[in-house]
Amino acid sequence: MQITDFYNYKKPGKKISMITAYDYTLARLAGESAVDCVLVGDSLAMVMHGRPSTLRASVDVMSLHTAAVARAVRNKLVIADMPFLSFRKGKDRAMEAVEKLVKAGAQAVKLEGLDGHKDAIEHIIKSDIPVMGHIGLTPQSIHKFGGYKAQGKDPKSAARLLKQAKGLERLGCFAIVLECVPPDLAGKITKSVKVPTIGIGAGPCTDGQVLVMHDMLGLYGGAPSFVKRYLDGRGLVVKALNSFNREVKSAKFPA
């Protein structure tokens, strides 16, 4: 799937699948799979670096992981997250961050929110770098939200999210991630914009779904409750490590 294919997915019966990847090995598996596109999410601060939130991701760290993923994924769109505040310090600083991510191999960038950085989004898009929007429970705003809480539950906040989605569409974003918003609101936003929406914890009525790979493979403990676990990754890995340990201790390995 290429960037130009996104609009074709805004049709009944068509769905976009997006998965996060942060390192060469798992990104290669994502590349071999049928998933449509790969996101180098700033969730890597938590999943790869054990940080308590995404706020600790930096442009340099995002670029390092983007380069590893881009080396592994040759046949799919690679999107990199713009980390905390990297698009809030003026257009020039935002473009420096975009330049590093694109030179590392990203074909598009994703950034959270809209209010207060419309000019940065517009400038990135006018510089021919595709932008994916991200609204709802935007993890870079957890201190404002007072934790990881679903957004858009009351009419005022629902109206604000709808307005933001339309604003992102107007600026020229090629897709919008809707994170942890009520399913009926996600459906309403999806119907109200011409660009595809990609949901996470937002129910079935979006044009696609995204999951953190380490969550859906059961590798990262403490995944949110909406995540479907497709594999008991932790169980399988710990079992394999214990088998190795047992065989070393009993001199069964090497034979």
User: Which residues belong to the active site?
Assistant: 179
As measured in angstroms, the least distance from the Cβ of 206 to ligand KIV is: 12
Decide if residue 217 touches ligand KIV (CB under 6 A): no
Query: Contacts with ligand KIV in 152-191 (CB under 6 A)?
Result: 177, 179
As measured in angstroms, the least distance from the Cβ of 66 to ligand KIV is: 12
Q: What size, in residues, is the chain?
A: 255
As measured in angstroms, the least distance from the Cβ of 84 to ligand KIV is: 11
Among 111, 200, 202, 213, binds ligand KIV (CB under 6 A): 200
Decide if residue 43 touches ligand KIV (CB under 6 A): yes
DSSP state letter for 144 = H
Q: Which stretch binds ligand KIV (CB under 6 A): 8-16, 39-47, 122-130, 164-172?
A: 39-47
Q: How far apart are the first and last CA of the chain?
A: 46
* Among the listed residues 253, 236, 246, 210, the one whose alpha carbon sits nearest the alpha carbon of residue 110: 210
Beta carbon nearer to ligand KIV, 88 or 248? 88
Query: Contacts with ligand KIV in 7-26 (CB under 6 A)?
Result: 20
Q: How far apart are CA 142 and CA 88, in angstroms?
A: 16
Decide if residue 81 touches ligand KIV (CB under 6 A): yes
Q: Which stretch binds ligand KIV (CB under 6 A): 37-45, 65-73, 84-92, 189-197?
A: 37-45
As measured in angstroms, the least distance from the Cβ of 228 to ligand KIV is: 14
Facing residues of 134 across strands?
A: 112, 177
Q: What contacts 103, CB < 8 A, 6 or more positions away?
A: 63
CB 79 within 8 A of CB 70: no
Identify residue 163 by its one-letter amino acid code.
K
- Tell me the torsion sign for CA atoms 243, 249, 254, 255: negative
Summarize as ranges the residues that interact with ligand KIV (CB under 6 A): 20, 41-43, 81, 177, 179, 200, 210, 212
